[in-house]
């Protein structure tokens, strides 16, 4: 017989509903407007490591509501948020499901550091609403973590140097990463940095290499180095959120989209049309703002101490 029952218990579904309600209440106190944007688009995320699902009419299920929400920001220039079902191909596992829920919000006149405070305030409020002890948050800098271990900053490192560090620490390094420094750095961070994050606390990792700016602005760190003004939020080693001091320059954004397309070609990943509507909106003017996307299923896993994402989904990939 085909399994038809939900993967989450009724109590877990009620907890998820309470989390969303608490978030909406907090957003209301902050005068952040809830919006809803289309899940289907004629363009999609160009990031070669984020795989979109296409429809029969050559549109794409969104991997994030980011592009459409930025168009709203350009038009109306007000703080906004959205609780959105999003879709990413090839993602299934303990912390992954093809369809999941993102809480995404944008704050005017904030940079990435102010937005980190905003995220902390929301999470603190959420923990209080469930009468849970606040675990606390640490802050670490991507570049400093690399420099401490390799003796060079991320922009100075090479795949050879990273591979040697793996060898010196008795770890295998994949030969497939021979010419991709950013991929090698990501693996380095996973193997040697994230493992040191406090297991029962949140951690912000910030000041990323310029080469990993994605949709973030470039600024200066405490050492005066160029860095991407972005952060990721973790609980233990589990990534929960990704935030940017948003890039507003349409010319630079077009260049980054083109670079993504070249990398997709190199990796033989399906090409994605450039979102010309977003670029036109940026030309009209995106206000100074910061934005963050937070995975709600993973957040509930942390809050409720669940081991697998299927425990917090009504129907996971196997039951959908």
**The CATH number of the domain where 261 resides is what?**
3.30.930.10
Q: Is the pLDDT of residue 38 over 80?
A: yes
- Tell me whether residue 156 is in a domain: no
- Tell me whether residue 67 is in a domain: yes
Please tell me the total count of domains within the chain.
1
- Tell me whether residue 125 is in a domain: yes
- Tell me whether residue 143 is in a domain: no
Residue 131 is predicted with a pLDDT of 97
What is d(CA 163, CA 24) in angstroms, rounded to the nearest whole number?
Answer: 46
Instruction: Kindly indicate the confidence band of residue 46, based on its pLDDT and cuts at 50, 70 and 90.
Output: confident
Residue 190 per-residue DSSP state: I
- Tell me whether residue 38 is in a domain: yes
Of the candidates 174, 206, 208, 176, which has an alpha carbon nearest to the alpha carbon of residue 191? 174
Mean predicted confidence (pLDDT) in 245-258: 95
Name the residue range of residue 78's domain: 10-136+201-312
Question: Which tens digit of pLDDT belongs to each residue from 130-146?
Answer: 999 999 999 999 999 99
Question: Which tens digit of pLDDT belongs to each residue from 49-65?
Answer: 888 888 878 899 999 99
Share of the chain above pLDDT 90, in %: 82
**pTM, full prediction:** 0.95
What is d(CA 160, CA 166) in angstroms, rounded to the nearest whole number?
Answer: 10
Whether the Cβ atoms of residue 44 and residue 62 lie closer than 8 Å to each other? yes
- Tell me whether residue 111 is in a domain: yes
**CA angle (85, 317, 233) in 5-degree steps:** 50
> How far are the Cα atoms of 116, 159, 179, 226, 228 from residue 154, in angstroms, in the given order?
23, 11, 15, 11, 12
Of the candidates 305, 314, 247, which has an alpha carbon nearest to the alpha carbon of residue 281? 247
Residue 52 is predicted with a pLDDT of 86
- Tell me whether residue 78 is in a domain: yes
Residue 96 is predicted with a pLDDT of 94
């Amino acid at each position: 017989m085909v399994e038809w029952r939900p993967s989450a218990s009724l109590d877990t579904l009620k907890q998820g509903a309470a989390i969303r309600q608490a978030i909406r209440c907090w957003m209301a106190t902050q005068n952040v407007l809830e919006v809803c944007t289309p899940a289907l688009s004629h363009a999609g995320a160009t990031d070669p490591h984020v795989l979109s699902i296409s429809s029969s009419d050559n549109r794409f299920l969104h991997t994030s509501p980011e592009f459409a929400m930025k168009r709203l920001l350009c038009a109306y220039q007000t703080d906004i948020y959205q609780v959105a079902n999003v879709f990413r191909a090839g993602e299934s596992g303990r912390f992954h499901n093809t369809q999941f829920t993102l809480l995404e919000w944008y704050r005017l006149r904030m940079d990435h550091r102010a937005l980190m405070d905003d995220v902390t305030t929301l999470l603190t409020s959420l923990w209080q609403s469930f009468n849970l002890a606040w675990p606390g948050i640490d802050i670490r800098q991507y570049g400093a973590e690399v420099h401490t271990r390799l003796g060079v900053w991320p922009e100075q490192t090479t795949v050879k140097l990273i591979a040697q560090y793996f060898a010196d620490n008795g770890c295998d390094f994949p030969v497939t990463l021979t010419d991709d420094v950013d991929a090698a750095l990501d693996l380095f961070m996973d193997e040697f940095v994230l493992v040191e994050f406090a297991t029962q606390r949140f951690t912000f990792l910030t000041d990323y290499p310029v080469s990993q700016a994605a949709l973030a602005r470039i600024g200066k760190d405490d050492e005066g180095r160029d860095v991407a003004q972005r952060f990721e939020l973790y609980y233990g080693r589990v990534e929960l959120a990704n935030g940017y001091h948003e890039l507003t320059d349409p010319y630079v954004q077009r260049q980054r989209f083109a670079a993504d397309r070249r990398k997709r070609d190199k990796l033989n990943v399906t090409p994605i049309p450039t979102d010309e509507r977003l670029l036109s909106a940026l030309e009209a003017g995106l206000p100074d703002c910061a934005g963050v996307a937070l995975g709600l299923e993973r957040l509930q896993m942390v809050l409720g101490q669940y081991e697998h994402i299927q425990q917090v989904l009504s129907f996971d990939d196997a039951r959908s």
